[in-house]
């Protein structure tokens, strides 16, 4: 552990990681099913958490269920460790589980995230936990859950391809920039959570276990390590991740996902890495190199 | 700049302190006690207990105080606390026929066995601001008759059922699911539906119930009976072999009588919608009963064409803790997704290479 890692004292008024053991066991059972059927949405008895629905209650329940004494937790929101909601969730587990927390991607054993996958490649001993608002990739095409469950069961994904085709017919491109649908293990179409499509390729054959939790919708799903995850596309309109003409204004990275900042009234922009750990790491390497 | 939110630990702590200050208001004014809220805002307490799914007047009053009067926030506080509680045992079904009534009315019969009992109600009050309350005077109630007793008050719809005029509701003795433990799967059983509606937002149910009265899924309701009062709660612990009474709770029950079903082979019968809420909560119980009846459309082979009749639409959207959470999450940063959208829209606006831009 490096100096960014610290173990706080656990608040003994709560069970370890807040949820009671029976609830955690129920979630782990559902997780095992999810891992056994990659990309399939498993209903689970989601509990009310002391944070609002939509603020990561699904991810938090998964993290609570898998966390052990010796885990090291990293929490990011928009790629950053110090966004308010990431701070709040990290504090929650520091308080209720007393686990060590870190900002370092390689040092973390569990990484809970909202909207990003870290730039630093993941390794086999790591688990990513994604916060998911709407787990159903077909939801905005078919609002009924009864219908979409049947469509998944019958492998009936025609509407999704029609939607992507209509995008191309209307705009010339597939008009989805985040929560871009993927095919998991050649069977289930899955919503990778609202990560930018830039991050989609990181899901394919990743050595880390990927867990997805939707608290309000009471669904969880998983991508086991080394599973094929293919972003949906067409032969003549292949999937393309975003690229920037600019470099990061802080670390000069040209390969990472950049956030745009508007810096003055004239609308001038600057671009910086969304992954704060990755950016800081590059800066410190550059300083050491000098 | 929004990124200034980074380094948010200090900001979060300060926000919490500012909130505590706002809640307290002017410190030269006496602090509101939880007991005052419990005693003097009983209808707010009732709503928080119902939608918070926890019968505890003191904790509901505490939640209202902590939430600075924001009832949806108070409901959320109570729910989050409730999740941490162990479950000892399911109760036996409460028997509302045995209720110690404080109010009872039927709009379907002029007189019913046991009589009508107006009780404490806003009905028939003229909604004129009572400036005497500004002076904080004491309001003694009417004289109480000691040893007064009520005649037996059988449920009104039971009387209709005796004549076969209303569809009988029978207990299929299935184990009752608990939607707070197991995910709601659709189509849901009536028991699950009623649980969801009992936790559902009063305003949402009121509006949906109202929509059925205006023709969106019309089912001709009559307030067959509304009763408010205390009922005993009993449990039957396996290890004891006999039932024990835990105490009593105040509930509001509403049974709507609705228009008939019938066919060539079956005589026409009224149908019913059911509403139950903790405490004195008439509007909630009535809205719930209207929506319950609307959701029985499939059971009665009615055409499903209005929002109140669509089970998935109603059940997936009636919970205000879920709704408030998901709407409020829009306040969280979305700049990564927005950046992706910016990139996309700029790309879409670029004329395709080689094509003439007309």
Give A157-210 pLDDT, tens digit per residue.
Answer: 999 999 999 999 998 889 899 999 999 999 999 999 999 999 999 999 999 999
**Structure tokens that stand for A237 in this block:** 């309109």
For residue A173, the chain B residues in CB contact (below 8 A) are: 344, 347-348
Contact yes or no for A257 and B336 at CB 8 A: yes
Nearest CA in chain A to B9: A87
Categorize the per-residue pLDDT at B5 as very low, low, confident or very high, splitting at 50, 70 and 90: very low
- Quickly count helices (H) and strands (E) in chain B: 12, 4
Highest mean pLDDT among B7-16, B89-98, B140-149: B89-98
Mean pLDDT in chain B? Answer: 90
Q: What average pLDDT does range A74-103 have in this prediction?
A: 94
**What pLDDT, on a 0 to 100 scale, did the predictor assign at position B2?**
35
Q: What average pLDDT does range B241-261 have in this prediction?
A: 94
Contact yes or no for A54 and B347 at CB 8 A: no
**What pLDDT, on a 0 to 100 scale, did the predictor assign at position B353?**
59
**What pLDDT, on a 0 to 100 scale, did the predictor assign at position A13?**
85
Cα–Cα–Cα angle for A240, B344, A76, rounded to 5 degrees: 80
Nearest CA in chain B to A85: B332
More confident residue, B205 or A243: B205
Contact yes or no for A173 and B348 at CB 8 A: yes
Answer yes or no: is pLDDT of B3 > 50: no
**What pLDDT, on a 0 to 100 scale, did the predictor assign at position A106?**
97
User: Tens of pLDDT along A224-246?
Assistant: 999 999 999 999 999 999 889 99
Nearest CB among B5, B84, B329 relative to A54 is that of B329
Answer yes or no: is pLDDT of B352 > 80: no
**Structure tokens that stand for B205 in this block:** 């149910």
How close is the nearest chain B Cα to the Cα of A50, in Å? 5
User: Tens of pLDDT along A209-218?
Assistant: 999 999 999 9
Nearest CB among B8, B327, B336 relative to A115 is that of B336
For residue B86, the chain A residues in CB contact (below 8 A) are: 20
Max Cα separation, chain B? 95
Nearest CA in chain A to B325: A53
Categorize the per-residue pLDDT at A2 as very low, low, confident or very high, splitting at 50, 70 and 90: very low
For residue A218, the chain B residues in CB contact (below 8 A) are: 183-184
Can you give the pTM of this predicted structure?
Answer: 0.89
Answer yes or no: is pLDDT of B333 > 60: yes
Instruction: Classify strands A269-273 and A229-231 as parallel, antiparallel or unpaired.
Output: unpaired
User: Alpha helices, DSSP H only, in chain B?
Assistant: 8-24, 34-40, 42-52, 57-66, 71-83, 156-162, 190-199, 202-213, 282-295, 311-317, 320-328, 335-349
Categorize the per-residue pLDDT at B357 as very low, low, confident or very high, splitting at 50, 70 and 90: very low
The set of catalytic residues of A is 39, 248, 251, 273, 279
User: Tens of pLDDT along B214-226?
Assistant: 999 888 899 999 9
Collect all residues with Cβ–Cβ distance below 8 Å to A226 and sequence separation of at least 6: A205, A206, A207
**What pLDDT, on a 0 to 100 scale, did the predictor assign at position A1?**
40
How close is the nearest chain B Cα to the Cα of A125, in Å? 27
For residue B312, the chain A residues in CB contact (below 8 A) are: 144-146
Answer yes or no: is pLDDT of A10 > 60: yes
How close is the nearest chain B Cα to the Cα of A129, in Å? 18
Contact yes or no for B341 and A177 at CB 8 A: yes
Q: Which residue has the tokens 């009864």?
A: A146
Contact A81, A114 (CB under 8 A): no
Determine which of B180, B340, B351 to mutate to test the interface with A (most A C-beta atoms within 10 Å): B340
Q: What average pLDDT does range B140-164 have in this prediction?
A: 80
How close is the nearest chain B Cα to the Cα of A161, in Å? 19
ipTM over 0.90: no
User: Tens of pLDDT along A22-50?
Assistant: 999 999 999 999 999 999 999 999 999 99
DSSP letter string, B145-170? -TT--PPP---HHHHHHHTT-BPPP-
Size of interface A-B (CB pairs under 8 A): 139
How close is the nearest chain A Cα to the Cα of B87, in Å? 12
**What pLDDT, on a 0 to 100 scale, did the predictor assign at position B347?**
87
Bridge partners, B104 (sequence order): B117, B227
In 3D space, the residue among B235, B236, B278 whose CA is nearest the CA of residue B253 turns out to be B278
Q: What average pLDDT does range B151-175 have in this prediction?
A: 85
Between CA B290 and CA B56 the distance in angstroms is 27
Between CA A28 and CA A10 the distance in angstroms is 22
């Amino acid at each position: 552990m490096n100096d960014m890692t610290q173990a706080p004292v656990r608040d003994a008024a709560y069970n370890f990681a807040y949820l009671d053991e029976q609830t955690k066991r129920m979630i782990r059972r559902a997780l095992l099913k999810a891992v056994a059927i990659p990309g399939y949405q498993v209903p689970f008895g989601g509990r009310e958490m002391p944070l609002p629905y939509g603020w990561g209650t699904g991810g938090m329940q998964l993290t609570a269920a898998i966390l052990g004494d010796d885990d090291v937790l990293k929490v990011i929101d928009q790629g950053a460790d110090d966004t308010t909601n990431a701070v709040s969730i990290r504090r929650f587990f520091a308080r209720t589980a007393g686990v060590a927390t870190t900002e370092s991607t390689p040092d973390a054993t569990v990484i809970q995230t909202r909207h990003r996958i870290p730039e630093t490649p993941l390794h086999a001993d790591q688990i990513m936990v994604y916060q998911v608002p709407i787990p159903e990739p077909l939801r905005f095409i078919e609002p009924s859950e009864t219908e979409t469950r049947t469509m998944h069961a019958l492998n009936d994904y025609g509407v999704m391809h029609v939607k992507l085709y209509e995008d191309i017919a209307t705009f010339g491109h597939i008009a989805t920039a985040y929560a871009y649908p993927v095919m998991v293990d050649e069977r289930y179409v899955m919503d990778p959570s609202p990560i930018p499509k830039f991050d989609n390729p990181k899901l394919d054959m990743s050595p880390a276990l990927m867990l997805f939790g939707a608290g309000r919708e009471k669904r969880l799903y998983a991508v086991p390590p080394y599973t094929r995850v293919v972003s949906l596309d067409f032969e003549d309109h292949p999937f393309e991740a975003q690229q920037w003409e600019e470099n990061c204004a802080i670390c000069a990275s040209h390969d990472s996902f950049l956030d745009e900042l508007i810096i003055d009234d004239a609308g001038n922009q600057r671009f910086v890495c969304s992954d704060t750990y990755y950016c800081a790491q590059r800066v410190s390497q550059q300083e050491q190199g000098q | 700049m929004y990124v200034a939110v980074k380094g948010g630990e200090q900001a979060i702590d300060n926000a919490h302190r500012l909130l505590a200050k706002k809640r307290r208001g002017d410190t030269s004014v006496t602090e509101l006690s939880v007991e005052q809220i419990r005693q003097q805002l009983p209808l707010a307490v009732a709503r928080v207990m119902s939608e918070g799914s926890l019968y505890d007047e003191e904790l509901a009053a505490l939640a209202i105080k902590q939430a600075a009067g924001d009832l949806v926030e108070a409901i959320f506080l109570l729910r989050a606390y409730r999740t941490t509680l162990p479950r000892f045992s399911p109760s036996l079904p409460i028997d509302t026929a045995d209720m110690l009534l404080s109010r009872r009315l039927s709009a379907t019969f002029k007189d019913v066995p046991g009589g009508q009992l107006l009780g404490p109600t806003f009905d028939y009050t003229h909604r004129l601001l009572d400036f005497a309350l500004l002076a904080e005077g004491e309001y003694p109630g009417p004289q109480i008759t000691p040893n007064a007793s009520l005649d037996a008050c059988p449920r009104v719809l039971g009387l209709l059922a005796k004549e076969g005029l209303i569809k009988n509701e029978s207990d299929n003795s299935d184990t009752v699911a608990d939607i707070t433990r197991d995910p709601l799967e659709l189509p849901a059983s009536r028991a699950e539906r009623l649980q969801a509606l009992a936790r559902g937002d009063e305003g949402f149910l009121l509006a949906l119930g109202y929509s059925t009265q205006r023709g969106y899924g019309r089912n001709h309701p009559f307030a067959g009976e509304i009763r408010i009062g205390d009922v005993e709660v009993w449990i039957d612990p396996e290890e004891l072999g006999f039932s024990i009474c835990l105490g009593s709770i105040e509930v509001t029950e509403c049974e709507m009588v609705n228009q008939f079903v019938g066919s060539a082979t079956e005589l026409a019968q009224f149908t019913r919608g059911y509403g139950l809420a903790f405490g004195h909560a008439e509007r909630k119980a009535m809205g719930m009963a209207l929506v319950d009846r609307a959701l029985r459309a499939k059971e009665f082979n009615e055409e499903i064409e209005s929002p109140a009749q669509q089970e998935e639409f109603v059940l997936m959207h009636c919970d205000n803790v879920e709704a408030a959470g998901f709407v409020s999450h829009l306040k969280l940063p979305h700049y990564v997704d927005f950046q992706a959208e910016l990139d996309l829209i700029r790309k879409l606006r670029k004329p395709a290479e080689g094509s003439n831009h007309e």
